[in-house]
Structure 1
Amino acid sequence: MTSDLASSLWHDTCREQILAPQLTEEVTADLVVIGGGYTGCAAALKAAGLGADVRLIEAGSFGSGGSGRNVGLANAGLWLPPEDINAEIGEAAGRRLSDLLAGAPDMVYDLIETHQIACEPVRKGTLHCAHAPSGMKDLQRRFDQLSRIGAPVKLLDASEAQARVGSEQVFGALFDPRAGTVQPLAYARGLARAAAGAGAKVHAETPALSATRQQDIWDITTPNGRIRAKHMIVATNGYALPIEGLQTPAMIPVHYFQAATDPLPDRVRKAILPELEGCWDSALVMSSWRLDQEGRLIIGGMGALNHPGSGIHLGWLRRKLADLFPALADTPLRQTWFGRIAMTTEHLPKIQHLDGGYACFGYSGRGICPGTLFGTRMAEALLTGETSCLPVDSVASHSLPFAGLKQAYYETGATLTHLVKNRF
């Protein structure tokens, strides 16, 4: 099994297309954006809307990194609850970040509506489910913290959660009505299309090979072209390729895999997630499940599928599916794929200051809404000079010692957990 995007359900059902020829000439621009996921495409869209001359380059196809392999949960907030964020960056900065992220789903769904992005948007909320009775302690803590900052969340008991999920294997849930689901690859490509429609010039199959700064101008070389721009945004996140002259963003690569069923029969479909929420659980090695527009169940968990332990992950996934929804015990899993999450030690995204630019990374599994917000705000800050609009203060540098060892730790832990879980 490879991480080829073409093996995913999202690739097969994406209705958004973007014409993005390779860059084959030398050009100038006000802003060059490197990376065609949520962050880069949102930045290009905002910059074009501000009247800037924008070049957006993507090494592969738009959304071919983490954006196109995402679960598709458009959440309000980060993985860290608000008071944990405050402990990391201070109360005032943390409260401001949480307030901005609370409105990020509005931003996403407004962009979808404004630009008519065909990405199966459903805004029926999400359910953070207790995987065991002990999981309610964590959900109670999150509920208390979110309630204190005015989030309209609701804590569901076991019977309420089981009715909402259609499974007896959840023991409560935290419901957030601000959130929803999208077809993640289609959302990324729709943002790219919207950016092009606003005047940005977009180029696929155009990796940045080198970046140098001379006399207040960035000089970016690609295999067949060159861009000279006053400002630059590097938005490659977990799929960064080496760029000569730039430090590759420091992050811990953590993998997440998913599989999809065929569209479920109506009699089964009506009993599973009847309100269409997206779900994930409170387990240390978490899993997720949701439905798409055609009634397919998409279920996944932590782990990569490009090593000998991939069979362990897939064996667990079939057991997990049978435990959650016994009616689906014999249902085939069709497309199977995985992607890379960029984590930081603090589970907080970083904006690294460059001379005349920014690099952004480390959403730690929350790419859709934070990526849209961060990309938009970085473009605004660069073009207006008002850095106070940034969601977090930029940092001069960022290091993450032993990232490779931490990656191995997470993958080994997920593999060992999946070896023994859901066997009885």
Structure 2
Amino acid sequence: MTSELSDSLWHKSCRETANAAALTQSAKADLAIIGGGYTGLSAALHAGQDGAKVRLIEAREIGWGGSGRNVGLVNAGMWLPPNDIIDRLGEDTGLQLTRLLAAAPDLVYQLITDHDIQCEPVRKGTLHCAHAPAGMTDLTNRYDQQKALGAPVQLLSRDETIARVGSDRVYGALFDPRAGTIQPLAYAKGLARAAVDAGAHIHENSPAISVTKTPDGWCVVTPKGKITAHNLIVATNAYSLPIEGMITPRVIPVHYFQAATEPLSHAQRHSILPNQEGCWDTALVMSSWRLDQAGRLIIGAMGDLGHPASGIHRSWLLRKLKRMFPQLSGLQLGQAWYGRIAMTAEYLPKIQSLGDTALVAFGYSGRGIGPGTVFGERMARSLLSGNPDCLPVPPVIHHHLPYAGLRQAYYETGASLTHLVKDRF
């Protein structure tokens, strides 16, 4: 079960539009793309800029999946620290991915500037906050690893972090000045607009019904049309629908929910995140908080608001707000929304090859904005040039993820039990 996109604050505050007609004819393209999120839209934009004929189809509306429900943190890297990435992928691939994604915010903010995307970009950095004194051990480890790779990160004391966050419920932080925040749905819709300007054709409300390999490439059929293309990218991530003739990527769907306050007063904004960093914490059941352009505080955590136990998560939100920011006493949370994250067993994104002319990307594990933008660009250019060396990670032929349903239940049960405890957050 997934909330409607219109439940999201991002839908209500979005200043970009991407109205695209459904596909109603037969069309030919150099590149067909299934999925209108960050990965697919970045691929469409960069392929269009390179002169390719591009057709992108989205089953609902642009940004309807994770791109429209995102927290909006533009991070430099993955959730895992660099050494863990290298251990999982090997030194060469691990270092390549780490360096590419360290520069991902540069690409995101450059696209925003180049195409005048109205998505509330703020590049004031992020704070990875210790939720308890023990959390500083993890942050110190991450700091050491990132500094060894030349990252301009800073390890902040508890007093420094309290001043930057406006709460005494933090015990230190890792500050990354490369990162920032955006309005995530507006970024997606802005990418779509830019892709159209670059010559790409984008079609909403056009789900792929079937995909067939042909002697010349691929045939993608929708309810009212079809696309024949030499190359194919599938970029549906956590929102994959069954497509005849096409694999459905195996991921662990983990839910994340958010809610927003009304805009804070001038005095409140002076004391809470005065530098406008985006934040998340070191807790096993992670939570996040940030401000938007209007000064709303947006707070969220792992959990499914479509779950029968969703009342537990909603009650936790109110307790979290009260305990973390008592200066906001009496301020109510307004709209709440949630979405799905596609996790892999390794907590790393994957590219699956369907042959020399088709790639499937999935598994950003909660880091969709920067990695999705990079992966889309790299996959499009790899397919159009015939050069797999520019891919962020080597493609795999087979991908297995046993017990995905049980793992999903494990995460949701853990989040529910954690949020049920009334004297902690």
Q: Secondary structure at the match of 2:41?
A: helix
Unaligned runs of 5+ in 1: none
Alpha-carbon spacing, 1:422–1:110, altered in 2? closer, same or farther (3 Å):
farther
Task: Name the TM-score, length of structure 1 as normaliser.
Answer: 0.99
Matched residue count: 424
Structure 2 residue aligned with 1:158: 158
For residues 46-103 of structure 1, the C-alpha deviation after alignment (integer angstroms, 9 at most, x for no partner) is 1001100000100000000001000000000000111000000101111111111111
Which residue is 1:224 aligned to? 224
Alpha carbons of structure 1 residues 421 and 97: separation in structure 2 relative to 1, 3 Å: farther
- Amino acid aligned to 1:317: L
Q: Does the Cα contact within 8 Å between 2:2 and 2:339 map onto a contact in 1?
A: no
Unaligned runs of 5+ in 2: none
Counting only pairs closer than 5 Å after superposition, residues 172-321 of structure 1 correspond to structure 2 as 172-321=172-321
Secondary structure of the 2:11 match is helix
Q: For residue 363 of structure 1, what is the aligned residue in structure 2?
A: 364
Per the alignment, residue 339 of structure 1 pairs with 339
Q: Deviations over 1:289-308 (max 9, x none)?
A: 00000100000000001122
3-state SS in 2 of match to 1:96: helix
Matched AA of 2:359: Y
Offset at residue 329 of structure 1 (A) = 3.1
Contact 1:61 1:204 in 2 (8 A): yes
User: Do the aligned residues in 1 keep the contact of 2:139 with 2:173 (CA within 8 Å)?
Assistant: yes
2-structure distance, mates of 1:3, 1:18: 20
Identity %: 64
1:2 Cα deviation (Å)?
Answer: 5.4
Helix, strand or coil at the partner of 1:335: strand
List aligned pairs for 1:38-77, cutoff 5 A.
38-77=38-77
Do the aligned partners of 1:9 and 1:335 also contact (CA within 8 Å) in 2? yes
Residues 316 and 422 in structure 1, CA contact (< 8 A), matched pair in contact too: no
Structure 1: distance between partners of 2:152 and 2:375: 23
CA distance in 2, matches of 1:72, 1:217: 36
Whether contact under 8 Å (2:69, 2:338) holds in the other structure is yes
Deviations 1:363-403 (A, max 9, x none): 00000000000000000000011211101000001110000
- Which amino acid in the other structure matches residue 378 of structure 2? R
Give the structure 1 partner of residue 353 of structure 2. Answer: 353
The structural deviation recorded for 1:216 is 3.1
Runs of 4 or more, structure 1, over 6 Å off, are none
**Superposition CA RMSD, Å:** 1.0
The answer as to 2:39 corresponding to 1:27 is no
What is the aligned partner in structure 2 of residue 18 from structure 1?
18
Q: d(CA) in 2 for partners of 1:127 and 1:223? A: 45
Report which stretch shifted further, 155-164 or 211-220: 211-220
| Letter in structure 1 aligned against 2:304 | A
Is 1:406 aligned with 2:407? Answer: yes
